[in-house]
Amino acid sequence: MKSKKHLFIAMLVVMSTTFNSCATAQSSNKKQKYKVAVCDWMILKRQKLGAFGLAAEIKADGIELDMGGLGNRPTFDSKLGDPIERQKFLDKSKETGVGISSIAMSGFYAQSFATREITPMIADCIKAMKDMNVKVAYLPLGTQTDLVKNPELRPEVIKRLQWAGKEVGKIGGVIAIETSLSATEEKKLLDEVGSKYIKSSFNFANALDNKRDISSELKILGKKHLAQIHASNTDQFWLENDKAIDMPKIKQTLDEMKWSGWLIVERSRDVTQVNNVKANYGANVAYLKKIFQN
């Protein structure tokens, strides 16, 4: 009888220890200020379930899930509007423990946000955000809506962003825009839009391409304007080998700003092995985690 009692107590201790370990791990993950994601289209898994498994393999915390191709279609070539297909993505996210940092409208890299009929695209993206419980959408104002080269588009862009802000605000979400503007000019643009639901998706590469200091730009932009960060440079070196990026200084800047959120790896591939997805993104994810999650 005594031995059975001791066995029962031992089992309770083991169960308690296991539960506490799991709870501690979950708590630690939830408390993490900075999480690291990869773009699904850059790891060659655009809107594919395999993106979650690959992201888990390279130890990323999440993926930036793309809405699919756009081209001359009236809206994105997306599976996310189909409840059955959408559930597969949600199930795979849960199964792998890989989250969704944001939903991307990468089709606007090459398409004009300023001149095309954008209502169906924005509506479909916001619906996907709502259905998948994702709070941020990524909107690059790409080559055709470059406000540095085409300043005459600015009034129309502001008007459209004000409308998009009202729409995404209905679900409590945010549209994070990427522009070619300096932080000073992008902040002015966001102030003109005047919506707390339209913020910045800051890209290291844009600052570096224009010989601007990343930390200074982040400070100018400010915490309230910053929704997410594309934390990579153009392809040449891995982040850890890129002398143009002072990552510890950037972390210190973000810490001082009291910002927290997703750091998303888009590029920074080693040009000597540019097609080696696991090596390039595995190295960059590991380095960001070493600096920001250590």
In a domain? residue 28: no
Beta-carbon contacts of residue 256 (< 8 Å; ≥ 6 apart): none
Asked if residue 95 belongs to a domain, the reply is: yes
Residue 30: which pLDDT band, with cuts at 50, 70 and 90? low
9 in a structural domain? no
pLDDT at 206 over 50: yes
pLDDT at 23 over 50: no
Residue 217 lies in a domain: yes
Domain that includes residue 137, residue range: 35-292
CA 179, chain centre distance (Å): 15
- Residue % of the chain over a pLDDT of 70: 90
Q: Is residue 29 in some structural domain?
A: no
**Residue 220 confidence (pLDDT) above 50:** yes
Considering all CA atoms of the chain, what is the largest pairwise distance in Å, rounded to the nearest integer?
87
CA–CA dist 205, 286 (Å, integer):
19
In a domain, 252, yes or no: yes
Q: Which of 177, 182, 157 is nearest to 225 (CA)?
A: 177
**Contact, 137 vs 103, CB < 8 A?**
yes
**Tens digit of pLDDT for each residue in 125-156?**
999 999 999 999 999 999 999 999 999 999 99
Tell me how many domains the chain contains.
Answer: 1
Q: How confident is the model over 109-125, as pLDDT tens digits?
A: 999 999 999 999 999 99
In a domain, 63, yes or no: yes
What's the pLDDT band for 32 if we cut at 50, 70, 90?
confident
Quote the pLDDT of residue 193.
98
Asked if residue 198 lies in contact with residue 175, where contact means CB atoms within 8 angstroms, the answer is yes
Question: Taking all residues of the chain, what is their mean pLDDT, rounded to a whole number?
Answer: 92
Do residues 254 and 221 make contact, with C-beta atoms less than 8 angstroms apart? Answer: no
Is 80 exceeded by the pLDDT of residue 99? Answer: yes
Question: Mind listing the pLDDT tens digit for each residue in 154-203?
Answer: 999 999 999 999 999 999 999 999 999 999 999 999 999 999 999 999 99
Mean pLDDT value of segment 266-274: 97
**pLDDT at position 6 over 70:** no
Flag whether pLDDT at 19 surpasses 80: no
CATH assignment at residue 219: 3.20.20.150
pTM as predicted: 0.89
Q: Is residue 8 part of a domain?
A: no
